[in-house]
Structure 1
Amino acid sequence: MEIVVTGRHTQIRQKFRDVVESKMNRVTAIAPDAQRAQIVLTHEGNPRQADTARRVEITIIAGSTVVRAEASSTDEFSALDMALDKLTLRLRRTRDRRKNHRRGYINPMPVDMGVATPVEDKTSDEVNTSPQAAVASDLGPGESVEVQVGDTPIVIRRKLHIAEPMSIDEALYEMELIGHDFFLFVNKETKRPSVVYHRHGWSYGVFEIDTPENVRKDDED
């Protein structure tokens, strides 16, 4: 498995790289088909956020499946351990779901989210100067662009994912894998862009988006 360690607003120490490589056997033990592990370490410079100054994001790519987890702590090593705990739990869910499929249950095809690429620090010449420029730029599958809005701390990130239409159940499964509170997908029943999201407990919600023109056309038909 290829292991890539990068830093945002921080330098990666060799000791951290060594610890990452030694602990990746937890991943290969659960997901021997994992092809790539991407670890991004981010440093938060705000002293008011000292308790979460180090954030570790781990993305595992195994075929067309992408599993992701992140955690923050006072140091990168404890953040790594917490992120790995979350990641291995999601990997076990994926493995168990495959086992259920072999026993006769339906296993939805996972969405191909593309190769996750870290957003590296850019010089002023490389960064777009407005949100409009970021939205207007052309992106390839898996590519992303990040811009800062003027002198504010607001950062807008845009990324292109290529995905086959899926059911709501499949979208919920993918949302759990990447550890987000929401998941954007194309509903294969309605063909509409949709979002599933956590509400509370085991309750979920679904938003679907359409244009007035399409809605009127469906009513006419």
Structure 2
Amino acid sequence: MDIVITGRHTQIRQKFRDVAESKMNRVTAIAPDAQRVQIVLTHEGNPRQADSAKRVELTVIAGKTVIRAEASSADEFSALDLALDKLTLRLRRARDRRKNHRRGLEHVPMPMDVEPEQLPERVQAPNPDNSAQLDAMASDLGPGESVEVQVGDTPIVIRRKLHIADPMSIDEALYEMELIGHDFFLFVNKETGRPSVVYHRHGWSYGVFEIDTADHAKQAGK
């Protein structure tokens, strides 16, 4: 398994590199098919955030599966331990799920709450007078390609990226969201064909948004 360690706003000490590489044995013990693990150490320079000055992000790539975890602490070694604990828990969940599927056991879906909630305020659109910005945002992208556009004279930067993914069920989307450790996950619902988002609300409560056009909804209702 390849281990890649990088630093953001900090230098990687050899001691941290040695400790981190030795602790990755926990990853290979649970996920022997893991091909690569990325470790990113970030230093927060704000003295008011001394208790969380070091953040460690762990990303494991095993085939098409990507599992992430991160944690912050006052020093890089405790942050590494906290992030690794989260990562191993998610790795075990992924391993157990694969075992259940091989045995033909039905995966019990997590409880869902699909009541809509208020969306965050919309980000200001690019200045319509700036044709170059609009052309960049509207241009066709290839798989994995991205484009970043600054909004007028503001510090706002909009990043657009094309990601190719197979349609999946709501239950599968929840599973993927837990693996990467995010509070939301964008996917295409294979049952409806609609772009959808699952998100974590509180406790074991989740929500799902589906996007459709009025014309398509009318046609589907016929």
Equivalences for residues 182-193 of structure 1 within 5 A: 182-193=184-195
User: Match of 1:30?
Assistant: 30
| Structure number with bigger Rg | 2
Q: 1:134 to 1:51 in 2, by over 3 A?
A: farther
User: Match of 1:52?
Assistant: 52
Equivalences for residues 169-208 of structure 1 within 5 A: 169-208=171-210
Quick one: which of 197, 202, 217 aligns to 1:215?
217
In the TM superposition, residue 191 of structure 1 has moved relative to its aligned partner by: 0.6
User: Match of 1:97?
Assistant: 97
Distance 2:216 2:36 in 1: 41
CA offsets, 1:110-150, max 9 Å, x none? Answer: xxxxxxxxxxxxxxxxxxxx997985676654456678879
TM-score, normalised on structure 2?
A: 0.77
Paired residue secondary structure (1:185): strand
In the TM superposition, residue 202 of structure 1 has moved relative to its aligned partner by: 1.5
CA offsets, 1:135-175, max 9 Å, x none? Answer: 56766544566788799886765544321000001111111
Letter of the 1:171 partner, please give it: A
Paired residue secondary structure (1:175): helix
Gapped regions of structure 2 (runs ≥ 5): 108-131
CA offsets, 1:84-116, max 9 Å, x none? Answer: 000000000111111112221257xxxxxxxxx
Distance 1:8 1:150 in 2: 28
Letter of the 1:67 partner, please give it: I
Paired residue secondary structure (1:190): coil
Percent sequence identity is 84
CA offsets, 1:164-192, max 9 Å, x none? Answer: 00000111111111111111110001111
Paired residue secondary structure (2:104): coil
* Structure 1 segments (4+ residues) deviating >6 Å: 130-134, 145-155
Letter of the 1:215 partner, please give it: A
User: Match of 1:110?
Assistant: none
User: Match of 1:12?
Assistant: 12
> Which of 132-141 and 93-102 deviates more?
132-141
User: Match of 2:41?
Assistant: 41
In the TM superposition, residue 219 of structure 1 has moved relative to its aligned partner by: 4.2
2:5 and 2:40 in contact (8 A); partners too: yes
1:134 and 1:158 in contact (8 A); partners too: no
Distance 2:55 2:86 in 1: 14
Letter of the 2:18 partner, please give it: D
Q: How many residues align?
A: 199
User: Match of 2:88?
Assistant: 88
TM-score, normalised on structure 1?
A: 0.78
> Which of 174-183 and 154-163 deviates more?
154-163
Gapped regions of structure 1 (runs ≥ 5): 108-129
Distance 1:212 1:63 in 2: 38
Q: 1:132 to 1:176 in 2, by over 3 A?
A: farther
Distance 1:131 1:68 in 2: 33
Distance 1:147 1:75 in 2: 36
Distance 1:34 1:16 in 2: 22
